[in-house]
Amino acid sequence: MNGAHDLDSGLLGIALSDSDAEPGDEASSKKPSQEARTGQSEADFQEVKRTYHVKVENGEIWTTVQLPLGPQVPKPEAQALLHAVEELYFFRRFAEGARFARSVIDDDAGTGKLDDDTLQTLVYYEKKCRDKKHTS
């Protein structure tokens, strides 16, 4: 066999190939090196492995937020704001989540520091936290 099987299904003529190439196939003789696939040398990988530390999220992302916000909040910082309020919500710390979201919203106060999507999501989580706080 040549490694490919044609299914005669009329409308959907699909060709399936074997996952193992047969000896002599060009595909099996041209396997890229690990470095070519990952773009990272073994030495680079070992350095990352040696210095990597697991990041543990335990409901305290909000403590790393510095208010007042800068004149323009970059996307990674805006994502951290959302992760902070989402984390408080997830840990059922609704009062803290609502207060945190409100403090960020008030800091923005129409200045345009935050993009509209981030601001709307903070307002959404503030409302969800307040609603959950009153029903808990």
Where would I find the beta strands (DSSP E) of the chain?
4-7, 14-17
DSSP H or E segment with residue 109: none
Q: Model pTM?
A: 0.58
Considering the domain boundaries, does residue 6 fall inside one? Answer: no
pLDDT tens per residue, range 57-116? 676 888 888 889 888 899 999 999 999 999 999 999 999 999 999 999 999 988 889 999
Residue range of the domain that includes 95: 61-135
- Please report which helix (H) or strand (E) contains residue 2, including its range: none
In a domain, 14, yes or no: no
Looking at the 3D structure of the chain, how many domains does it have? 1
Residues 6+ apart with CB under 8 A from 22: 1, 2, 3, 28
pLDDT computed for residue 22 by the predictor: 56
100 occurs within a structural domain? yes
Burial class of residue 94, CB neighbours in 10 A (0-12, 13-18, 19+):
buried
Does any domain span residue 124? yes
Q: What angle do the packed helices 94-108 and 75-90 form, to 10 degrees? A: 160
Q: How confident is the model at residue 133 (pLDDT cuts 50, 70, 90)?
A: confident
Q: State the average pLDDT for the chain.
A: 81
